[in-house]
Amino acid sequence: MATDWLGSVVSINCGLTLGIYQGEVSSVDHASQTISLRQPYHNGVRCPLPEVTFSAIDIKELKFLDIQNTVKKPSPGQRAATESSFIPPARHVQSNRVALPHVTSSSSHSSTAPITILRRGRQMAPTGPSNSRGATQATQKKNSVRNGGPTRTRDDECFGAGTDENMDADFDFEGNLALFDKAAVFSQIAGTGSRAQHHNTQGDQKPLSYRHDENILEAKPVIYRQITVPQHGGKEYCTDSGLVVPSVPYELHKRLLAAAERWGLSLERRLETTGVCSSQMALTLLGGPNRLTPKNVHQRPTVVLLCGPHIQGAQGVSCGRHLANHGVEVILFLPNFVKMQESVTGEVHLYSKTSSKQVASVKDLPTSPVDLVINCLDCHENPLLREQSWYQSAADWANQNRAPVLSIDPAIGGQHQAVEAKWTLFLGLPLPLAETESRVYLCDIGIPKLVFQEVGIHYHSPFGCKFVIPLHTP
């Protein structure tokens, strides 16, 4: 009889889509071919419903896990008769298992009313015994494929624990915050939490505090004075990292460049390096990637180059050629009524292949402010150029124009600079610049270390990963 199986614990396999249910048999209805489970579990998780009813036509497999000892076990013939009366005639029984195709849940209170199963805080569509079964299976199959596979949904894989219980309970923030001793924790952070224990030679412990940019591992002490010169220029600078860079007089700087030329660092190579580094600095001052973009062609920056007929002027022309190659509007001022050095002629020839904007008179320079003025009028070898009319007129134009000025390798002779520069760029080692508001920068022109040693300079590069670095007055 079917009543003999009441109270037995069974496992019902509902296929890959709906999973496996376990529970205690509460009722078996021969007429409607349904079986009901009390206090069911679905895939190992307690169901929120007290009772779930399954149709025999939708069950893939049924296993008896436990049979009540108080109930008299039927004979093999009675058991076969009971199971055969529960399943359709086309099904067969093997080892107390019933192989059936699919599952549809119905209400435990009525054999005709459908039920709704709550899973993971969502509602599954109610299923009926016949006409709604196909639509439900299609919906479940679509959800299964969309959620990551036919076996289990993504929510089941990530949140397979019993998350349905106590979902309506509010979290007690005040109670949990009261368990946190804020004063004790912050006291520990301020005391021993952010400090390293330093062991000295006597064996005692001394707490030390470190900044975020300091190394807590013991290392050799940093030597900040890594450059020593035989002739001091009278002024010292320091880099952003604290390295001391002394200034040198022009005579020592001249001997350094002459030694570099003897070792192969020719004037042409030095002009090219100076032009690249100074143009890179100028591009940064003009706005860099925020200004020079393909979408900003109508607002190209304008730079005026004031150059003389000497090596410093050739360095400025080289800088202008690189700026023009990067899309900057360059206007070169160079007087044509004075004799030029051969290096200047070669740089002007290269510049003419990139830009043809060259003027010889101050009257042809723009009257409106430009973006940047690069000053290369001064000459170390001939300070008398300042007395010439073309030099004075060009310096007056630069001072009257409201554009900022960048001076490259200016002459230092104890005199006031004719052009008030906002930035000053020195080459190799700085010269002793007078007390002005100009910001000093240093350019690496590639002089080898052994060349410094030849002129008596103990040198260690202060540039790091850059070719142009700022210098500060300590």
* Full DSSP string of 245-278: EE---HHHHHHHHHHHHHTT--HHHHHHHHHHHH
Q: What is the CATH number that goes with domain 2-158?
A: 2.30.30.100
Rounded-to-integer distance, Cα 463 and Cα 227, Å = 12
Q: Which residue has the higher pLDDT, 249 or 58?
A: 249
- The confidence band for 374, taking pLDDT boundaries of 50, 70 and 90, is very high
Which of 374, 366, 359, 398 lies closest to 283 in space, CA to CA? 374
User: Sign (positive/negative) of CA torsion 141, 147, 151, 156?
Assistant: negative
More confident residue, 418 or 371: 371
Q: Which residues lie below 8 Å from residue 42, measured CB to CB, with a gap of 6+?
A: 19, 20, 21, 117, 119
- pLDDT above 70 covers a percentage of the chain that reads 72
Distances (CA, A) of 446 to 245, 270, 345, 425: 17, 8, 24, 15
Q: Tell me what the mean pLDDT of segment 221-246 comes to.
A: 90
One-letter amino acid at 332 equals: L
With a cut of 70, say whether residue 398 has pLDDT above it.
yes
Q: What is the pTM of this model?
A: 0.56
Higher local confidence (pLDDT), 223 or 315: 315
Q: Band the pLDDT of 182: cuts 50, 70, 90.
A: confident
Q: Is the pLDDT of residue 5 over 70?
A: yes
Q: What are phi and psi of 13, to 5 degrees?
A: -90, 115
Q: What does the angle CA 38 – CA 43 – CA 46 come to, to the nearest 5 degrees?
A: 45
| 35-83 per-position pLDDT tens digit | 888 889 888 888 888 888 888 877 888 888 865 544 444 444 444 444 4
Pairing of strands 61-66, 9-13: antiparallel
- 22 phi and psi, to 5 degrees? -130, 145
Is CATH 3.40.50.10260 what the domain over 236-471 is classified as, yes or no?
A: yes
Neighbours of 50 (CB within 10 A): 11
Q: Which amino acid would we find at residue 22?
A: Q
Please list the residue range(s) of the chain that carry CATH number 2.30.30.100. Answer: 2-158
Among 71-85, 256-270, 314-328, 360-374, name the one with the lowest average pLDDT: 71-85
In this structure, what token pair is assigned to residue 452? Answer: 């410094």
pLDDT in tens, 113-146: 333 333 333 333 344 444 444 444 444 444 444 4
Residues of the chain with CATH 3.40.50.10260: 236-471
pLDDT at 8: 86
pLDDT of residue 1: 56
Residue 368 has pLDDT above 60, yes or no: yes
pLDDT at 28: 86
The pLDDT value given to residue 192: 59
Q: Which residue has the tokens 């190579």?
A: 269
Report the pLDDT value the prediction gives residue 435, as an integer from 0 to 100: 77
Give mean pLDDT, residues 23-35.
86
Least confident of 201-205, 209-213, 394-398: 201-205
**pLDDT value at 430 more than 90:** yes
Q: Is the pLDDT of residue 217 over 80?
A: no
Residue 375 Cα distances to 319, 397, 455, 473, angstroms? 11, 11, 29, 23
H/E stretch holding 154 reads: helix 154-158
**Residue 380 pLDDT > 50, yes or no?**
yes
